[in-house]
Amino acid sequence: MRVLLAAVVLVVSLGGLAMGGDVSSADATAATPVVQSSATVSNDVYVGVYIYAIQQIDMENHLYTVDFQLWFRWTNPDFRPVESVDFINQAEWWAAIIEVATKEPVVLADGSFYQREHVQATFSTNFTIEQYPFDHLSFPIVMEDKTETATHMHFMADDSGVTKAPNLSVPGYRVGQPTLVAVSVEYPELGVTGQGTRNASRIVVAIPMTRPWLPYALKIFIPLLVVVLCSALVFLIGPDRADIRFALGVSALLTLVALKWTTDAQLPLVDFVGMIDWLYLIAFVFVGFTLAESTYVIWHYDRGNEISTLVRFDRKMLVISTAVSLLAFAVVVVYVG
């Protein structure tokens, strides 16, 4: 009887322990909630730029330095755009300063990720200066993801896109409204055959700038006109004063060479003839014509021709050559500029 009672107590105790274990396990499971992100995962990465300053514009070497804030906003946890973005047109990598605001991405209220960095770097582009000094310049910042293809990740402009600081100014230029566009570029196989082409997502930030026309007109056009008009005084000097005529013509020629050298020192080497080159060419032709005309008149004077006849010829050449030169200047400025 005692053995039967002990067996019953043992069975009841084991059953209670088993039930207690099940309850504890169930309670533990109920106390561990499943956390899910409220943001819908997508392959879009939104990019925004805030431009502080544009410095050290080197027209001769096609370089310029931009100081700006760059931020990314995305939902895919596998992306790290701050680490994988590559500036395509960056120059002088050793001098770049890039400071990441937060080491790890910040999770926003909507569940998306956000990370920002402060960039001060030098970039390069091929300036189009055919219409200098009335040219319209663009200072681009081109960035591209070096790890993901456009089919897996593509950049998009953030809501604010690109903005500039209210006090942004560049001496000698007028800064326009910058733009930010997302494009897709296609690369060839790049040495690996059989894999086909690769599409990459790219962001292009363009900062338009122009030059104020009045200061450049005073610095470039006025000296040219003064040289041309001074060399035209050759026609008012008598053919019997050969030394003065040639001294004035040669002085005008040397002045033009110095002006051209100063202007070329501010511009890059190009393979075309721009507006400023046409203007200098007209001035050189005019000064050369005054020297040639002086040689012709003095030669006839030494041959015994009447001074009055040669003076009338000088006056006629003065009117014709000056009018043609000024008309040529106007045509170049209107149609080329």
pLDDT tens across the length of the chain (337 residues): 333 333 433 333 334 434 344 433 333 333 333 333 445 667 889 999 999 999 889 988 899 999 999 999 999 888 888 888 999 999 988 889 999 988 889 999 988 999 999 999 999 998 888 888 888 899 999 999 887 766 678 889 998 889 999 999 998 899 999 999 988 887 776 666 655 567 888 999 999 999 888 888 888 888 998 999 999 999 999 999 999 999 999 999 999 999 999 888 888 877 788 888 999 999 999 999 999 999 999 999 999 888 999 999 999 999 999 999 999 999 998 887 6
Q: Are strands 174-175 and 97-100 parallel, antiparallel or unpaired?
A: unpaired
Whether 82 is in a domain gets the answer: yes
Predicted local confidence at residue 337, as pLDDT = 65
The separation between the first and the last C-alpha atoms of the chain, rounded to the nearest angstrom, is 120
Whether residue 38 is contained in a domain is answered as no
Same domain, 267 and 320: yes
Residue 195 pLDDT = 59
66 & 169 share domain = yes
Tokens representing 253 are 């020629």
Could you tell me the residue range of the domain that residue 189 belongs to? 44-210
Q: What confidence score (pLDDT) does residue 197 get? A: 61
b (16+ CB within 10 A) / e for 230-245: bbbebbebebeebeeb
Q: What is the largest CA-CA distance in the chain?
A: 165
Please report, for residues 25, 36, 255, the alpha-carbon distance to residue 29 in angstroms, rounded to integers and kept in the order given. Answer: 6, 17, 92
Residue 170 resides in a domain: yes
Q: Indicate whether 6 belongs to any domain.
A: no
Domain co-membership, 218 together with 206: no
**End of a domain among 210, 235, 252?**
210
